[in-house]
Structure 1
Amino acid sequence: MTNQLSIDQVFINNLNTIIEDHIEDDQFGVEELAIALGISRSQLHRKLNAINGKSTSQFIREFRLEKAMEMLQDDVATASEISYKVGFNSPTYFNTSFHQYYGYPPGEVKFRNHLVNEDEEEIQASNAEKQPISIKRKLFNRTSFFIVALAILVIISFSYYNYSTSANTGPSENKESIKQEENTIAVLPLKNWSGDPELEYISDGMTDAIIAKLSQIQAIKRVMPFTSIVKYKDTDKDINTIAKELGVKYVLEGNFKLSGTQVQSNLNLVEAGNNKHLWSLEYTGVWNSDEIFELQASIAENIANKMKVNIGTTEIKSIKNKPTANEEAYKLYLRGQYEYSKLSKKGFDNAIYFFEQAISIDSSFIDPYAGLAKTHLIMGLVWGGESQIVAEKEGRKYYYKTVQLYQKGDLINQSELLRIKMMIEFHYDWDVESSIEDLNFVAESPNLYWEVYGMAMDIARKTGRFQLALTLTKRNLTFNPSNPGSYASLAQCYYMQGKNEMALQILKENDTVSADDYFYLLEASRVYYYLSEYKSSRQLLNIFMKIFTDRPPVIIWLNAVLNNVDGNKESQNYLDQLHQQYNTKVSGSPAWFLALYYAHIKDYDNTFVWLQKSYDRHEVEMTWLKEEPLLRPLRTDPRYIELYDKVGFAKIAPITPYVD
């Protein structure tokens, strides 16, 4: 027994050493710790849980908080500075986590420590029973309580004085937030002046690169993503109209030309409203990695300067980062990003090809690895781009490689890394607890990349946090108001809250303008089905079938249930196709959608047969188990309860009985 305990302690000590070595790295989590130990996530979780009953994410978080407590007691820095020193990316989230763990905010540590020392002296002087005092629970005598109460009154008075004074001498919190809101910008697609349509990906890639650089500057409140501005590529609209539509104050427009190895670019930064030209650039150079990355950094710094926002030291380092020394590898990466942005199976397949080509030229180039990770993982989700087994294997492989390069010092957009991590944890690992922690972090972080909010929204709605899902969807839309899929998600959030009229209104307002968008058509037709608006669901589904050739299981299922509603025999044909997809092991969760078909016709025994098959194959759509509308009547069935527990939802919330 003693030997076993010593082995366990050696293991814990090893964990502590590794985490402490990465204490300031906010991206160092469960995956990274497992990689450092050379074991899988599940092995790490089982071993740690057997030793102390904690999840790995809980162990890491508590280690960070305990280190923070030591620093706060030693008064080495402010609470905000310490939050970053122990690996929290948000002081707000740090304060929340600290308060939950210790029972009081970090700002009180120094004061409480002083009181505890006084109390210990009094206890010793009165020969009271000696026992260790828990940091989480402090027993104060009446004198201490009076001092604390007095201190709180002083703090409140001082805060009020500061607030009143700041209203007269400088920007208040409200004014500051308004000022930040003004710091918004759209980078319009750089016009391709190369004379070769095949080089469109270069001008688009340069546009996206400038957007990425600007997005790393926290003082810029909002940088419109490429997906929001691409529709203005061939527009005749003037700058003021575009700025008004996007809700931004500044607009960067220009062109880019690549001829052989010669590069030319002309850029103009305009302040919308008064049409004031703030900055211009006429650039001529050569296409090599040094000059291209220096150009991107210079553009970002000049724009920030003209917008009168500050750039932090870390941000400057990130902006000036040169991810590859090979210009051909960079061109291939840009081509991969261009193909990925098409969000279709063909686009994803092409993206994988170009990302792999970029790596074959420069194996230390971190961005294509992240590109491969996200592309494979997305292809294994509901849209059925490639086998889920292959998607998960390849996605993990390239994610681990991205993390390894990041740990060696290579820089990458951390929002991108976080999104990939969340995708693996929630959809592929069913690690619900870690996913909720990531969700809470994202909810506390106002300036992440828009796709992270989309990922977080998906976790929120599938775990029953509908109001948070609604909030995150709206935040997503502030960054990317032109994303049709987000409006379908917004409608679904209202539906899940029981606000059917709101959901219908949003769909009706967007059906026409979004009738060519893959994700809107797919998601909106599902929401219409749940709302029993079968005619509208069928209309959008028919449009999807005409425009796109993809036939993932969700599309086959929608055809099956809608034909069943109409009493058409064609329903059986689609049901057979779902069975065929299951037998050939395509991705997109065919067993899950077979279960939903049987739930639709209220054949609940077959529903559970296929839910079990979906569970056995670890299909990603099982993450809908907790909140899937068609399964609501089954929540008290022992078979449902067993699956609910096995997937992991019981760890975060008990089953809520359904009341029709």
Structure 2
Amino acid sequence: MTSDQVFIRRLTEIILENLGNENFGVKELAQESGLSRYSLGRKLHSICKKTVNKFIREVRLQRSLEMLQNESLTASEVAYQVGFHSPTYFNKCFREFYGFPPGKVKEGAYKSPDTYFPSPISGKQEPQRPTRRVNVRIISGLLFLILVTIIVVFSYYPEFFKGNTLEKLRSSEARMSIAIMPFQNMTHDTIWNIWQEGIQGCLISSLSNAPELIVRQKETITALLQAKGLSELASISPDLVGTISKKLDASIFICGSIIESGSTLRVDAQLTDTQTKEVYKSFQIEGTLKEEGPLKDDIILSMIDSLSAEVKSFLVISKLKKDISKDHPTEPTTISPEAYRYFIYGNKAFSKLDWPLARTWYSQALAIDSNFFDAAIQLSAAYANPGMVEQSVQWVLWLYNKRNLMPVVTKIWTNWVYAINFESPSEQIKYLRQLLDIDDQSPDVYFLIGQTYNSLNQYDKAIPELEKSLEIFHKWDSKPFWVVNYFQLGLAYYKTGKYKKEKKLYRKAEKDFPDDPPVLMRQAILALSHGHTREASGYLNKFISISKEYSSSETDILESLAYVYTEAGIPDKAEECYRKALSLEPEKPDRMNHLALFLIDQDRNVIEGLRLVDRALELSPDNFEYLDTKGWGLYKQGNYKEALELLERSWDLKPAFIFDLYLHLEEVKKATGNR
């Protein structure tokens, strides 16, 4: 354990020993730790970028979560026991920190984030993850397929990682190694000479606190410089610095200068690749010198603090990105390593379909940096995928109102997210094409365009876009982040009769995503459509087995099988599955509606379908999906006027843009116009 970790643990122990004392604050913690309030605040901020008050509050909140989970106490009782002066304020802080109210913990709706990922304070390691509960039917749902890929789209890589050395370093498990050289005094004023090594020492001290980095120490660098006979720092050349960095086995070296112009003092710093000598990132900090007021040392100390924070944040965030898939070369919308770390935890939970945990971590990232737009976009998707569309739309609107504060690329992505909820498919494709104008090697943009064409049943247009996406991943010697890349292209091949290509595609998908439910479903559909019933049975049996492992309900499995049989052109088996699902949950309106839509859409029994959806509407009169089903049934009967009224009402009630409803409405409008 490092000295910083020991320090943090000791502070945590002191706070826990005084947990019930609501008056225990900065002054008391400083006294107990043997430091002045100033020294405590400065040291704590240098380690974890938190104020003392915030650190104390987070320790209280972490303990409160443990108590809520493990003890028979109300939220109010816990609030007082962990040192909050009022339950109302406790509820506010708890929700801001965890993303859900304390009452949800008592209901058992959420597990502690520590169950899966390192604690923000304790740093516990990730244990074995329990089996997750997945509704496999959702995997084939359109909204899921549209939004789930946002995690890939917003996996950012900054432009400075252009060199092979850093690309390999970042993708490895090793920590990033840094050598910091003395800064050069370019002011011609010897008063700044002391700060040539002073800045170097401060940067070494600050960056050494980051566990993601290995920082070569000052004594080693000084010894190498002296061995080269360099007593004058001004004579250190970039080539010599590169040579020393190689000897130190450092992948990056940092050097810089002190410049004075009139009353302005400036400190420049450059991050350079040791192998290629390419400067990846430059920093510039300025301060104003005054004849009266702060001393020059105070000014440069403040500038060094700012420089250290910027360099450290940049390097730590860059190193953290090794956990995220390769994609769009754009800076993230936060400079907080802590917020970005929570963002990564959220992405891990997202990739495992653990929506509550993902929302928890994204909310924590936003609590640290309220303008971390990437986290807000992911949070909207983590609400949308399990069907919490209204909460998702709230975040989409929040983002849309903030779009003028965003970098250009993030703004375009936000316009696209808004468009998939409120605008037409042509608008969605327009924004995606704008992204390709900026970077035509972004595989997930091609994928999203192809997926949009698939949703419109324009499969011939979808195929080249989806193929281009996979082609780029192949060029990178990488697999797609998500199986839906294969699912969508397989769907387009199937709908256009390209069965040989489809089968070959699934062989590749099996290698990248073995036994993945969406691929098994598509393989079963292909086999059934060609009469290969034994082969299809193998895929379906495996699909059912995996679904049960994920604790999917029998009704969900039956409706997934109904989808397979419908796609394969075996409507009798599909109807059998839908009817059995309804018999298991006869009072559930969603089951009524699913069978009704099938009977209407497949022209099996429109009259019975309308009777079923009427029953569903009695239970939920303003459900836009049920209104859509009934409107579509009336259209099938030739009742265009009433069908249009119901579909327009459904459209007004929809929480977001729904492709199927859009297509139904357009079809009925066309029929009405023709008549």
Normalised TM-score (structure 2): 0.43
Normalised TM-score (structure 1): 0.44
